[in-house]
Chains A and B, each alone.
Chain A
Amino acid sequence: MTTPAIFIFFPLILSLILYFFEKKPSMNRTVGVIVSILLMLFAYFQKFGAVWKIGPVSIEINTTMNVMGRSFILANQDKYFLVLVYFFAALWFGAARAAGVPARFIPFGLAIISVLTAALAVEPFIYSAILVEIAVLITIPLLLKPGIPAGKGVLRFLVFQSLAMPLVLFGGWLLGGIQASPSDAARQLQAVVFLAIGFSFWLAVFPFHSWVPQLSADIHPYISGFLLGLFPLVTLLIMLDFISGLVWLRESIYLQPSLRLVGSIMIVTTGIWAAIEKDTRRLLGYAVLLESGFALIAVSMQSEMGVLSLFISFIPRIGALAVMSLALAILTNKGFPSNLDHLSGVARRYPIAAFAFVIALLSIIGCPLLGGFPIRLELLKQMQTIDIGGTIWVFVGMMALCIAFFRVLQTITQPVVEHWSIGETPIQTIFLVFGVAALLLFGLLPHLFTGLLQPLFENLPILR
């Protein structure tokens, strides 16, 4: 048995089977959650490339699977990603009922996760571009509401992600040619330019970021949280693998300043746009962009601590996005428009959803005692030793996002109705409270989580 068969082909086949049981949503959800948890536990406890013992039966778990001359490789260094992505799936599938999303979310979600895992596992690298594009196309049915035309955000998402594929493929092909003559600096530069623009489209890096808030405003917030949580994470890891694999690129003197500059610009512009934003769903999009900005800064550090911070940051990032999108989904399902003008006093009717939303926003800003804080603190501490000006700008971006937080807080707590009531269902309350508690716990005891995940941080990408 091979790891790609377990983590790519098995979920893919399962998603096809579940698709035909769309009319049995409970079964769909239960199977989706159980399979995701089992895969997560398997990735956490089983050593890849070793023997798996079940009683008297021993099964060898190989890390490579060859398909038509190409290899899919999921080795021990991918365990963290697998644990994270299937934890992510279990979380999203588990709360799908509370969020009120259609049953087809589970099969499509599983299919997207398995194709994106394949994109990360495939060798040679250029096939990743095609697999990411396939994953993007699979998302389309999830983004549509029957009888309603697809919004501009959906089309922009498709266009921007599709533009990335030719650029990455072409850059990858140019790079393949360079292997024969590594001293050809002109070709190296051309390959890097093509790949950099391709990755910028994938990661919604400034100035190719406009589709993110538009998409989050156009589609169900729970689905936008799922997609905007998953896609940037996978493409970021593909980019990291790519940088790590090329010595001349990671030793280039231009890599660190350019990534830091782009990351800082993303944080500042996102913060400023969010400060004047009135749509809470678009705020979710800006939160994703801010996280991507910080991720680029973590990569730009080109240090072991930077990579570790990046990998650990995925946990509070996913937690905050999950809480924000679930809270928004609850309010959307109750018929509240996403504009702040219509959310006056909503905290008195849906207090848990409303406060969970603002706490998740605070975590993304990097407020002390919440999940995002230890990561932000570490990154800013590292950054100020290299570029104090850039650090101040990043701080300005974070403060600008604080304005958005205060605007939301001021609006939702207005005393429009006299009495407080709890409009959320018990299951919604459980998920939201669990999410907020996890964010608090990560902020208070970050070493507890990093200690648990320590065995998974094996052979992290080398950036220096």
Chain B
Amino acid sequence: MGFHFPGIDFICINWRICIIMDHWINLIPAVILVSAAIVVTISSDWRFIFAGYTAIYVSAFMIVIQYWSFGFSLVKLITGLMSLVVLGISVRAHPAYIPGKSWSQKIFHVIALLLVLVLLGLSSTRISNFLSIPTEIVLSSLAIIGFSLVQLGMMQDHLRIFLSILVLFFGFELIFSANESSLLVNGLLSAVCLLVAFMGSVVIQNEYENDEA
């Protein structure tokens, strides 16, 4: 596999990803994942943002459940959803928390996201071979990591930053847990995710502490 400049090679690599995938049906959760990332990027409504993040967790779960045990995959999904719930409860009390975006901002963020996703998508086969992990898992993991890094780099509001850290860890866990099966490491990673969500909730609530007093 190569990473050559001529456009035709890019297309070839994309097709190869589809061919190397164990099940072509996995394209569906992958597409849902990317669409959810775009929705999160352009939306300023907390309901859409949380729905997008839920879709990311669920679509990644749909992929990893084919390779990991049901219990292990479910632990990852439940940890992620619990983290979203912890943050969601805080935001629900203050719905005006997320600042809006202009159209030019939205277009810029989506283009940046797509560029990052394309670059990561092109390198997924090589990483998959290097780490001996199925392409589907690598692809979804890289998409989540790329999306979270774009969010961390471009967004300023606290909620998005905490959510991005959560999915960054989740994306990393998809690759890491495929090789490192230690229950203690994975348990601690889940604890870290819950702690991130809890601290995010503390940060959001703190801003309104005087108002409520």
Within the assembled complex, what's the spacing in Å between the Cα atoms of A169 and B177?
Answer: 11
Q: For the complex formed, measure the closest distance between the CB of B141 and the CB atoms of chain A, giving whole angstroms.
A: 11
- Contact assessment for B168 and A162 in the assembled complex, using a CB-CB cutoff below 8 Å: yes
Per-residue CB proximity of B4-47 to A under 8 Å, as 1/0?
00000000000000000000000000000000000000000000
Within the assembled complex, what's the spacing in Å between the Cα atoms of A144 and B207?
Answer: 9
List of A residues within 8 angstroms of B57 by Cβ: none
Within the assembled complex, what's the spacing in Å between the Cα atoms of A91 and B3?
Answer: 56
- Chain B contributes a number of interface residues (CB within 8 A of A) equal to 29
A449 located at the interface, meaning its Cβ lies under 8 Å from any Cβ of chain B in the complex = no
- Contact assessment for A130 and B192 in the assembled complex, using a CB-CB cutoff below 8 Å: yes
* Given A150-B158, A159-B152, also A140-B203 (CB < 8 A): yes
Per-residue CB proximity of A147-181 to B under 8 Å, as 1/0?
11110100100110011011001100100000000
Within 115-150 of A, Cβ neighbours of B (below 8 Å) are at 126-127, 130, 133-134, 137, 140-141, 144-150
By beta carbon, the residue of chain B nearest A126 is B185
* Given A69-B184, A133-B192, A170-B172, also A144-B161 (CB < 8 A): no
* Given A68-B184, A133-B192, A166-B172, also A147-B158 (CB < 8 A): no
List of A residues within 8 angstroms of B191 by Cβ: 134
Per-residue CB proximity of A173-210 to B under 8 Å, as 1/0?
10000000000000000000000000000000000000
B196 located at the interface, meaning its Cβ lies under 8 Å from any Cβ of chain A in the complex = yes
- Contact assessment for A155 and B195 in the assembled complex, using a CB-CB cutoff below 8 Å: no
* Given A133-B192, A162-B165, also A150-B203 (CB < 8 A): yes
B61 located at the interface, meaning its Cβ lies under 8 Å from any Cβ of chain A in the complex = no
Per-residue CB proximity of B168-201 to A under 8 Å, as 1/0?
1100100110011000110011011001100100
By beta carbon, the residue of chain B nearest A159 is B152
* Given A70-B184, A126-B185, A127-B185, also A140-B199 (CB < 8 A): yes
Within the assembled complex, what's the spacing in Å between the Cα atoms of A134 and B168?
Answer: 16
Within the assembled complex, what's the spacing in Å between the Cα atoms of A162 and B152?
Answer: 11
By beta carbon, the residue of chain A nearest B179 is A173
Q: For the complex formed, measure the closest distance between the CB of B196 and the CB atoms of chain A, giving whole angstroms.
A: 6
B202 located at the interface, meaning its Cβ lies under 8 Å from any Cβ of chain A in the complex = yes
Interface size of A as a range: 20 to 34
By beta carbon, the residue of chain A nearest B180 is A173
B69 located at the interface, meaning its Cβ lies under 8 Å from any Cβ of chain A in the complex = no
B210 located at the interface, meaning its Cβ lies under 8 Å from any Cβ of chain A in the complex = yes
B104 located at the interface, meaning its Cβ lies under 8 Å from any Cβ of chain A in the complex = no
List of A residues within 8 angstroms of B185 by Cβ: 126-127, 130, 169
List of B residues within 8 angstroms of A162 by Cβ: 165, 168-169, 196
- From B168, B199, B206, give the contact of A146 (CB < 8 A): B206
List of B residues within 8 angstroms of A173 by Cβ: 176, 179-180
- Contact assessment for A137 and B176 in the assembled complex, using a CB-CB cutoff below 8 Å: no
Within the assembled complex, what's the spacing in Å between the Cα atoms of A144 and B199?
Answer: 11
Q: For the complex formed, measure the closest distance between the CB of A172 and the CB atoms of chain B, giving whole angstroms.
A: 9
Q: For the complex formed, measure the closest distance between the CB of A161 and the CB atoms of chain B, giving whole angstroms.
A: 10
- Contact assessment for B207 and A148 in the assembled complex, using a CB-CB cutoff below 8 Å: yes
Within the assembled complex, what's the spacing in Å between the Cα atoms of A69 and B184?
Answer: 9
Interface centre among B161, B185, B207 (most CB of A within 10 A): B185
Within 60-111 of A, Cβ neighbours of B (below 8 Å) are at 68-70
Q: For the complex formed, measure the closest distance between the CB of A193 and the CB atoms of chain B, giving whole angstroms.
A: 13
Interface centre among A130, A133, A137 (most CB of B within 10 A): A137
- Contact assessment for B195 and A158 in the assembled complex, using a CB-CB cutoff below 8 Å: no
Within the assembled complex, what's the spacing in Å between the Cα atoms of A314 and B73?
Answer: 45
* Given A126-B185, A127-B185, A155-B161, also A147-B192 (CB < 8 A): no
By beta carbon, the residue of chain A nearest B196 is A137
By beta carbon, the residue of chain A nearest B171 is A166
- Contact assessment for A147 and B161 in the assembled complex, using a CB-CB cutoff below 8 Å: no
List of B residues within 8 angstroms of A68 by Cβ: 184
Q: For the complex formed, measure the closest distance between the CB of A190 and the CB atoms of chain B, giving whole angstroms.
A: 9
* Given A127-B188, A144-B206, A159-B152, also A134-B195 (CB < 8 A): yes
Other CB < 8 Å A-B pairs besides A130-B192, A148-B206, 14 of them? A69-B184, A134-B195, A137-B196, A140-B203, A147-B211, A149-B158, A149-B207, A150-B158, A150-B206, A155-B156, A162-B169, A169-B172, A170-B172, A170-B176
Chain B positions within 8 Å of A, measured between CB atoms, are 152, 156, 158, 161, 165, 168-169, 172, 175-176, 179-180, 184-185, 188-189, 191-192, 195-196, 199, 202-203, 206-211
